[in-house]
Structure 1
C-alpha cells in the first residue's frame, strides 16, 4: 500500500503537467468580414461600389493537437444599398485548421450558403496580439463559390476579430 501511494505521488506532477497542455482545446471567436473584390463573369466587382456587403463570422475552434484542429463557423451576410439593409445570405463554414507556426493558421473551410451557392474558403489567419485570456487576429479569406447556374466566383477579403 505504501509503494502504491509513493507511485501515485510521483505521477501527480506528470498528470498536472499533462492537464495543462491537454487536448482537445476549445476557443471561440467573433469578427467582422469585409469582402474587397470579387472576380467572376466580366469585370471585377468591388465592395463599397454602389453597395456594401459585410459578414459577422462567429465560430468555435477545437484543437486536437498543437498543429491540427476543427472549426465550426457561421456567417450572417449583411448587404446595405439605396438606404436599406438586409441579411442577404447565411454561410455554414466547417473546416480543418492547420497551425503554420509563429501565430499563423490556415483554415481550410467548406462553404454552404442559404442562397444556394457552395464552395471552399481558404483563410490565412494571424494572431496579432495575444493576451492571457483573449487575442486579436487579422485574416485573409478567399471564398470560391459555385452553383445555381452562375459563374464561378473568387473573392478576396479581410477579417478582423477577437478570440477567447
Structure 2
C-alpha cells in the first residue's frame, strides 16, 4: 500500500463517526471527556502495619484525566496524579502517578475503572476504582470515587490502600 492510500485510509477511519441511538438524543462515539478532582488517601495496610493519612502527615492528590468512551458501556482512561505531602511544617510534591485503565459503565451512574499504576516513587500496581456520578448537569457532572490502590516494588512490602476522591467531569 503506498503512502497516499495509507493516509487516505487513516483519514477515513478518523473522520468516520459511529452513532448509538437512544430515546432522548443521538450520542456519537468515541466520546471524549475530561475531569479534575481531589484525592484524599485514607489508610494504607501492609505486613509492616497500618499507615493513615491525617495522623503524622497530610497527603493530597490532584487527579486530572481524559476518558475516551468507545461505546456507552466501555472506554479507556488516562489519569495523572501529582501528590503533595505536608509533614513537620513543610510541604513537597512527593509522588507522581500515571494511571491508565479501562472504564466499564455499570448503570445508575456507577462506573468501574480498572487502572494500572506507575509511580515515580518506584512503586507499581493496580487500582480498582468505583465511581458514582452524584450530580448530573448539562455540560458537567460531579462525581465521588472510592479507589483501592494495590502497590508493589521499591523494596517495600505489598500494600492495599483506600481513599476518597471527588471531582468534576466535563
TM-score range, shorter chain: 0.7 to 0.9
Name the counterpart of 2:49.
43
Structure number with higher strand proportion: 2
* 1:58-97 correspondence to structure 2 within 5 Å: 58-97=64-103
Q: 1:137 aligns with which of 135, 143, 148?
A: 143
Return 68-77 or 40-49, whichever deviates more: 40-49
TM-superposed CA distance for 1:22, in Å, is 1.4
Contact 2:80 2:97 in 1 (8 A): yes
Determine if contact 2:76/2:101 at 8 Å carries over to the other structure: yes
Q: Which has the larger radius of gyration?
A: 1
Count of residues paired in the alignment: 149
Unaligned 5+ segments in structure 1 are 1-14
TM-score between the two structures when normalised by the length of structure 2: 0.85
- Tell me what 1:57 maps to: 63
Q: TM-score, normalised on structure 1?
A: 0.88
